[in-house]
């Protein structure tokens, strides 16, 4: 079975982003970019399935600017077999991403698609669900454990208050939550090897998908700040204040 792993290039997890003073967006000039952390977990899970003999090939695909190639190379350095980059100028919304991925699925015919549950830039948490919808496939979102069979997959999902396990017919879409696994670091030899792995670069235009955004961002603002509080000297003082505030 082939596994397709969509990966997104996002602002690095550790960067403190700044909102532009004119409200036109977030300042991304000279900011470190990395693979979306949830997508790293998705790549790791696909690799583990291949290493366990349950999958034959892992294909990483990224949609974005030219630099999305770096993100695909990161997946290849972790161990993915080959990559696809679909170049698109400007932001591509989850619905359009899902439509492009549907076209890639039609070409590649994977048995499973694994991707992160959400990207840490737009925090939409939509792409996996939308892809499953457009394909008419079942979806196992927020996965913390997978058990892959021959014609079905059991997915244990992180839900409010606990865990839910569902059985999905294959092919299926799975989105990775934090506890699915701990992604490996790419070793230097593997980073070198990744440079020789095949990456197919395409233009998003060739798929005939309407990429025009449906949502218009009117303004980007800093979140409202909370007024600074007070430092207290003792537990007794704290209890007094909490009583006065009427919260205990």
Partner 1 sequence: MTTLLVAAHDGAHLKDATLKALTAALAVGDDIHVLLAGDGVAGAAAEAARLPGVVRVLTAEAPQLAHELAEPLAALLVSLAPAYGVLLAPATSTFKNALPRAAALLDVMQLSDVTAVLAPDTFERPTYAGNAVVTVRSADPIRVVTVRTASFRPTPGAERAPAPIEAVAVPADPGLSAFVGEQFSEADRPELTSARVVVSGGRALGSEERFRELLLPLADRLGAAVGASRAAVDAGYAPNDWQVGQTGKAVSPDLYVAIGISGAIQHVAGMKDAKVIVAINKDPEAPIFQIADFGLVGDLNEIVPELTKALG
DSSP string, 137-168: --EEEEEEEEEE-SSEEEEEEEETTEEEEEEE
Q: How far apart are CA 103 and CA 88, in angstroms?
A: 15
Q: How far apart are CA 176 and CA 150, in angstroms?
A: 20
Contacting residue, 115, 130, 194, 204, with partner 1 by CB under 8 A? 130
Please identify, among the stretches 45-53, 59-67, 82-90, 116-124, the one whose residues bind partner 1 according to the rule CB under 8 A. 116-124
Contacting residue, 31, 106, 201, 242, with partner 1 by CB under 8 A? 242
Instruction: Determine contact, residues 77/186, Cβ cutoff 8 Å.
Output: yes
Residue whose CB is less far from partner 1, 124 or 190? 124
Q: How far apart are CA 245 and CA 149, in angstroms?
A: 56
Q: How far apart are CA 244 and CA 248, in angstroms?
A: 9
Residue whose CB is less far from partner 1, 108 or 154? 154
**Considering the rule CB under 8 A, would residue 24 count as an interface residue with partner 1?**
no
Residue whose CB is less far from partner 1, 94 or 111? 94
**Considering the rule CB under 8 A, would residue 235 count as an interface residue with partner 1?**
yes
Q: How far is the CB of 67 from partner 1 (least distance, A)?
A: 19
DSSP string, 39-50: HHHHHHHHHHHH
**Considering the rule CB under 8 A, would residue 198 count as an interface residue with partner 1?**
no
Instruction: Determine contact, residues 24/78, Cβ cutoff 8 Å.
Output: no
Please identify, among the stretches 61-69, 127-135, 183-191, 200-208, the one whose residues bind partner 1 according to the rule CB under 8 A. 127-135
**Considering the rule CB under 8 A, would residue 123 count as an interface residue with partner 1?**
yes
Please identify, among the stretches 60-68, 73-81, 114-122, 191-199, the one whose residues bind partner 1 according to the rule CB under 8 A. 114-122
């Amino acid at each position: 079975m082939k596994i397709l792993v969509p990966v997104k290039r996002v602002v690095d997890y550790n960067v403190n982003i700044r909102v532009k003073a004119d409200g036109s967006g977030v300042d991304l000039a000279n900011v470190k970019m990395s693979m979306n952390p949830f997508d790293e977990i998705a790549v790791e899970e696909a690799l583990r399935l291949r290493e366990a003999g349950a999958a034959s090939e892992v294909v990483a695909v990224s949609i974005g600017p030219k630099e999305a190639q770096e993100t695909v190379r990161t997946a290849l350095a972790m161990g993915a077999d080959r990559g696809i980059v679909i170049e698109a100028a400007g932001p591509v919304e989850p619905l359009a991403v899902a439509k492009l991925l549907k076209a890639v699925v039609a070409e590649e015919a994977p048995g499973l698609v694994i991707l992160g549950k959400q990207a840490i830039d737009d925090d939409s948490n939509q792409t996996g669900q939308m892809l499953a919808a457009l394909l008419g496939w079942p979806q196992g979102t927020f996965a913390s454990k997978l058990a892959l069979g021959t014609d079905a997959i059991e997915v244990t999902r992180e839900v409010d208050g606990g865990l839910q396990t569902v059985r999905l017919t294959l092919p299926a879409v799975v989105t990775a939550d934090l506890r699915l696994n701990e992604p490996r670091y790419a070793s230097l030899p593997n980073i070198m090897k990744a440079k020789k792995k095949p990456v197919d670069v395409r233009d998003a235009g060739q798929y005939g998908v309407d990429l025009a955004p449906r949502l218009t961002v009117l303004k980007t603002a800093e979140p409202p700040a909370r007024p600074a509080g007070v430092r207290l000297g003792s537990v007794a003082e704290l209890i007094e204040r909490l009583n006065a505030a009427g919260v205990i």
